[in-house]
Amino acid sequence: MKKIGIMGGTFNPIHYGHLMLAENAYDFCRLDQIWFIPSADPPHKMNMDVLDYEYRSRMTELAVRDIPYFLKYDFENKRNEPSYTSETLRLLKADYPEMEFYFIMGADSLFQLETWHEPEKVMAQAGLIVAVRDHHSLEEMQKQIDHLTDKYGARIQLMDMPGTDVSSALIRKKIKNHRTIRFLVPESVREYIQSHDLYTERSDGK
């Protein structure tokens, strides 16, 4: 049974923090592949400045194309409903019953998980790989893991993650302020953003 890591997100834009998280999960959990699935209609970001799916999907494809075990998976854009993780996992398991799925997330998401849509189905359908960061103590993390394990039968693995201050919000802010984003995103993504004039006041990405 192949072990597939799922990196879901808005990827607005994708950056090296996302790629580092995926690479660490691939190595730490001995996964076979990482599937990057851009959200088409993220329910928690409906009122935010999110580029159209086609732009975010193409940037994700550019970012992962040279890594043989990274794959951009066009899945969410085929659906006419909000991109709930529970439903994504249900459909993936129906399409690929021979694969074992692991959802990769940051530490903050572990503490917010019970506010997600149908969190019990998320934890029933995939193992969780959670990146440990400095702003959460191991004691806090373990307490939350014990809670989710006892209540939902969650399967959770903690993974050390090097600190990085890069975020999509930071990148968007830098672009609007005419600052460089080199070395925050892959060069192919930086060139794509520049050539399409994305995240600027003149952008037509929406």
- Report the run of H or E that residue 160 belongs to, with start and end: strand 156-160
pLDDT confidence of residue 80:
63
pLDDT confidence of residue 48:
62
Residue 129 phi, psi (nearest 5): -110, 115
pLDDT confidence of residue 165:
79
pLDDT confidence of residue 79:
63
* pLDDT tens-digit map of 76-100: 766 666 779 999 999 999 999 999 9
pLDDT confidence of residue 43:
62
The domains found in the chain, sorted by start residue, are: 2-163 (3.40.50.620)
Q: Which of 191, 194, 200 is nearest to 173 (CA)?
A: 200
Q: Strand pairing of 127-132 and 156-160?
A: parallel
In single-letter form, the type of residue at position 33 comes to: Q
Low-confidence ranges of the chain (pLDDT < 50): 47
pLDDT confidence of residue 95:
94
Contact 174, 3 (CB under 8 A): no
In single-letter form, the type of residue at position 184 comes to: L
What pTM does this model have? 0.91
d(CA 18, CA 150): 30
In single-letter form, the type of residue at position 200 comes to: T
Residue 34 phi, psi (nearest 5): -120, 125
